[in-house]
Structure 1
């Protein structure tokens, strides 16, 4: 009874209705508070990193920050040139909207077959998508009035609106796939409708609580729009996992006692064993996710917040309301233990491992290192707008706008801050810079210079006829920073110069992540070691946990690189390769995989530890514990893979990469790490695995608990 999870389970089992009502109230309060307070979305300044971010901050000081701009493209469907009267009609309609700040004069394309009208919206750039609907409606009206022409609209606001809508539709389809498949897997595991529905109900309620809590937390850590994705992804996975660990142990103990064990006693045994594993695992996932805050990036902070709140909610539900449900539903569920999800497979794999552990360890580690090999050639880039689905109307218009006006594909913005009295020198130096870039074939189009009202901030915009992800655009940024700027404005005394724009943001974000990666990885390794060593009172197991998690994460990222950085799997998985991996993906995966790997590691080692406590020799205990946990680990892995794989069909390439890599990692972790490498390692090191612990570990074994509750 020193174990807090046992005390909570005992109270819950003896007061089931109070516990169930308490959980429902908790979920309602979390969701209600979130809806009442509302979420706090990240603003433009929250996204600023590197030199690009510094330049954006300077531009904002002078009111020169980027604003939401929509471009209306008028083009002919066949031969001919569009009438200028249509552009005038667009200008008139747009000028009358409250959401519009200004409308530029029409610009005709070089071949004369297209005309564009640039519309600048009021408010911050990131707020544009919330107010773009009236503009789209006016464009649609013009299109209906001129069916012989193609009148369409694109820009950051309309693209963001379409992407958000597509993301919502994708997530709805994901839920429709993940929930039924998860239910089928649980039915096969438990052979009981009641017991299969319980994990789903608790997972869904934990997700609801997590969404509410994340909305409250967003006032401290602004929401970058990705929190809900993570809550759904992690919530289903850990929610089902934690409930599954608990439920399987409860059924196992009741079956072992032959019906002599009371429902409350079985619940307490499950709390003393699997319950503690859930606590340790939940803390590990939360602590691992928290290392993402060290990235100094609003997107990673949003991901961390979502993962933490839903993991904590799932952990609390498993420790509080689940014992009450088991106490109330105990008589309606079969007492026989469900057959091991991988019984024959487990025996077939463990037999050669037990006979030749050194060989098994060597072969398995070599195979994992081979899978990790492509990681050495991983190329990280930011995910540009050009990677979005072409099913979106705004993206179809985006392509046609950039085809007609290639100078709009990307832009470099040189921002200079200097005292007002030096304005003339700044303008002269930027004029010299404009002359240099005009003569440089890397750039094209007319440069534009703007100065703030107080004369302190001046910006020169340098168009590049290439997308930010293309080599020409990257070369243009490099030449600006290393050649053209040092030869012109870089020599001004007392002036602060920085470059931003599409190209700079694309280049600087991955560099920012590379500099942060060692810090986060170091913190992650430390967290994994400390939690494992603390949970099992073993430095050896702490080091082993770090090594196994690194191996699993590296192998999954290697497979990710081999699949998504090349083109051979495009048709199979429905994507267009960027020739790279999204810069946010590896860091997020490392953190989440380390946390999720602790699920299986803690549960498996807990069963091994129980056998050691009963006096079973260390090598025998290793095999016994792994056999005893294999069914649960296999079942949980199937559920996790189902959830993660359901994200692969999504349109957003980053979500595809994350879902695919997580699914691969769980498969490797459950079937290679836990069935081959871990048992082989434990067999080889024997009792040394538990060094330096000499006293009995904390968790009580089933016989101990029976003695206490008998």
Structure 2
């Protein structure tokens, strides 16, 4: 691929640009088909959404306005007048359905100082409701300004959806504008030249743009989501820059060693190019494991990540060689004297890495034991990890106005803020038998003592569907609410509407969604973990034809993932150091984050492993003994691995500064894991373990000799890399200047 691109430079470069422009234009014209409610959740929640969708029934976004006074009670005429004024202002917007007065629904607090006005926001879907709600919020705010002695605040699905939508756009834009300059700045330090630094960033951005178009085009077959776009930017920028960095640094090394331009490109293609390909395939295979979750959002994130990684690999292996062939040594244009001198003096075998590696190689057993102990200590909080579907209050930053309103509502009206909804589909929803069963459903639910009124039944006679809203005790995301949901599903529903022949009655709602999602996550954890570990092991076995290398890769990756889990539990569950990243401990880790991190990290960690071990094996295949090859491989890759890791950590850390708790957890988890992987794992544990194993690193049982050889069989055209014909001693000493 590299040789073809070098020979057909214009075809490769302009073909790539044409490809990016066409797919991004077509993707924009096509638009993105988003994951539906019926797809997004598993279990009974998905079935309930399917029943409502098939019946053509839309679930409007519910809103409430809290009217509260510390001095007046709900019976005071002034209080009633304030409620009526809010109702009139809301209706005057023309953006809502009928309002339900608290005096009719009984939504009055026990202390008689608070009332809830309820209504729905117009819109066939959530996006339409979010678009309509600002006018309603402005009307409510106008009434609040006229009544300074009252608390008059709006809270509900549409207003919360508006906050999430606005915040997602702002955060996404901030991540883009922060991550790209950050990556560029790190590359300037790594290369000391403007052109060399700009190339990886430009290729990564074009790969992301092209992948976005491809994902949009294919969204008719596999629906996408906002989370998928966020993850695609996160991973695409990180791996796109890293892949180009690996390739470009190797080509520059070979040119500095005296090879001509064509030979340097061929060596880079046969070594770093192959490492990029193996790394990319590993990330793709790891991400494919997310399809086993059966959750549409995860399928969307998996597919988007696979597309951006494949696109980044394609750009690195074709466009980059063509550009390097065009530019030649002009890739060093725009040298920044201070940075270029600093890079040359530090080199890939800097004093720091030499200082770390020398004692590791001298006492590998002690180093391995110490590093393993440190990693296990960091991972220890994992044993206390509690996962949950974070509530609205947990997701939003401390001090948020919506959170404050929701807390006031919960204090005045204890119980789940969102009721459980029984969706009843019957042969004849208006039959006397079903009418009696619906009434019995409500009475039995209240009789359990786990649910409370007011309950509400809505019958859609034409569709033979009814919905029954039953509020649950508890916060909506605690054991009390979960126990109430279990009683509703397993006791109340089967004993009432479930006894009517030809009836199905799944229970949905926010509590049900959290319970079903967590159960699905738990059930899919083992298959996903098994799939990723097995296929990563097989890929390493095929790539290096070594059982030891494959086993070592899997075990080291598991250690780095475990350490990341430990940090997540420590920071976000127990709150240790949480204030440093602008958050607080929320008592739980978002339920999808651990599985997502495992899949992503297992793929990304292979970047460094493949790159470093490839260089070690390359040196060993040229006649060096394993200890010398390990020393040379670590020293010669330390600079590029450090640069790549700093870029990844920087990009991921940007996501750790975003507003939503789940994004913070994802960003911090990824940043910590990559940092640990590039330092403790690659600089200490990997060389220590490989030194201890010695020649057993390359052990392949006879019964596996039939495995196909997909490894590079030497460099093209008889060229030798910088590690080439030089004696071992010279190589070890040369690490510093390289």
Is the shorter-chain TM-score for this pair beyond 0.5, marking a shared fold? yes
User: Which residue number corresponds to residue 6 of structure 1?
Assistant: 2
Instruction: State whether residues 204 and 240 of structure 2, in contact with CA within 8 Å, keep that contact through their aligned partners in structure 1.
Output: yes
Please report how far the alpha carbon of residue 450 of structure 1 lies from its aligned counterpart in structure 2 after TM superposition.
3.1
- Corresponding position of 1:196: 197
Write out aligned runs for 1:427-446 (5 A): 427-446=435-454
The residue number in structure 2 matching 1:221 is: 222
1:441-464 deviation per Cα after TM superposition (whole angstroms, max 9, x unaligned): 433332223333158444432212
Contact 2:573–2:587 (Cα < 8 Å) also in 1? yes
SS at structure 1 position matched to 2:419: strand
| Preserved contact between residue 90 and residue 117 of structure 1 (Cα < 8 Å) | no
Give the match's secondary structure for 1:579: coil
The answer to whether 1:592 aligns with 2:600 is yes
1:492, CA displacement in angstroms? 5.2
SS at match of 1:568: coil
| TM-superposed deviation, 1:154 | 2.6
Q: Partners of 1:468 and 1:115 in 2: how far apart?
A: 18
- Paired positions, count: 698
**CA–CA distance in structure 2, aligned partners of residues 536 and 415 of structure 1:** 55
Residue 53 (structure 1) aligned with residue 46 (structure 2): yes
The alignment status of 1:39 with 2:32, answered yes or no, reads yes
- 2:420–2:508 contact (8 Å) kept in structure 1: yes
When the two chains are superposed, the root-mean-square deviation of aligned CA atoms in Å is 3.0
Q: Which residue of 2 aligns with 1:378?
A: 385
Map 1:66-465 → 2, pairs under 5 A: 66-75=59-68, 84-85=80-81, 87-88=83-84, 90-92=86-88, 94-95=90-91, 99-107=95-103, 109-110=108-109, 111-125=112-126, 127-140=128-141, 142=143, 151-257=152-258, 261-334=259-332, 338=344, 339-341=346-348, 343-387=350-394, 388-389=396-397, 392-407=400-415, 409-420=417-428, 423-454=431-462, 456-465=464-473
- 518-527 vs 470-479, which deviates more? 470-479
Offset, 1:27: 1.6
CA 34–440 in structure 1, closer or farther in 2 if over 3 Å, else same: same
Q: TM-score, normalised by structure 2?
A: 0.87
Cα distance in 1 for residues equivalent to 2:404 and 2:429: 47
> What 5-or-longer segments of structure 1 have no aligned partner?
none
Deviation at 1:153, TM superposition (A): 2.8
**Equivalent in 657, 666, 669 of residue 658 of structure 1:** 666
Q: 1:170 to 1:696 in 2, by over 3 A?
A: closer
Per-residue displacement from partner, 1:645-679 (whole Å, max 9, x unpaired)?
A: 11111111111111111111111111122122222
> What is residue 518 of structure 1 aligned with on the other side?
526
The alignment partner of 1:443 has SS state of coil
Task: Check conservation: 1:384, 1:506, Cα contact below 8 A.
Answer: no
User: Which residue of 606, 610, 614 corresponds with 2:618?
Assistant: 610
Q: Give 5+ residue unaligned stretches, structure 2.
A: 334-339, 722-738
Q: Which residue of 1 aligns with 2:515?
A: 507
SS at match of 1:235: helix
Q: Pairwise mapping of residues 532-551 of structure 1 onto structure 2 (< 5 A)?
A: 532-551=540-559
Q: Is the 8 A contact 1:54 1:498 kept in 2?
A: yes
Q: How far 1:703 moved relative to its partner?
A: 7.9
Change (3 A) 1:506 1:697: closer
Give the SS at the match of 1:66: coil
Q: Deviations over 1:5-56 (max 9, x none)?
A: 33334335xx2x4433222222211211111101111221111312332344
After superposing the two structures, state which structure 1 stretch, 320-329 or 306-315, moved more.
320-329
2:719 corresponds to which residue?
706
For residues 285-319 of structure 1, give each alpha carbon's deviation from its aligned partner in whole angstroms, at most 9, with x where no partner exists. 12211211111111111211221122122212211
Q: Which has the larger displacement, 85-94 or 45-54?
A: 85-94
| Local SS of the residue matching 1:70 | strand
* TM-score normalised by the chain length of structure 1: 0.90
Q: Within 1, Cα distance between the matches of 2:697 and 2:116?
A: 73
SS at match of 1:414: strand
CA contact (8 A) 1:62 1:454 kept: no
Cα distance per residue 1:176-219 (max 9 Å; x no partner)? 43333322322221111221222222222222222222222322
- Helix, strand or coil: the match of 1:464? coil
1:159, CA displacement in angstroms? Answer: 1.1
Residue 635 of structure 1 aligns with which residue?
A: 643
**Alpha-carbon offset, residue 162 of structure 1:** 1.2
Distance 1:375 1:427 in 2: 51
Once the two structures are TM-superposed, the CA of residue 440 in structure 1 deviates from its matched residue by 4.2
Shift of 1:274: 0.6
Change (3 A) 1:576 1:492: farther
Does the 8 Å contact 1:407/1:445 carry over to 2? no
Alpha-carbon offset, residue 137 of structure 1: 4.5
Distance 1:452 1:334, change over 3 A: closer
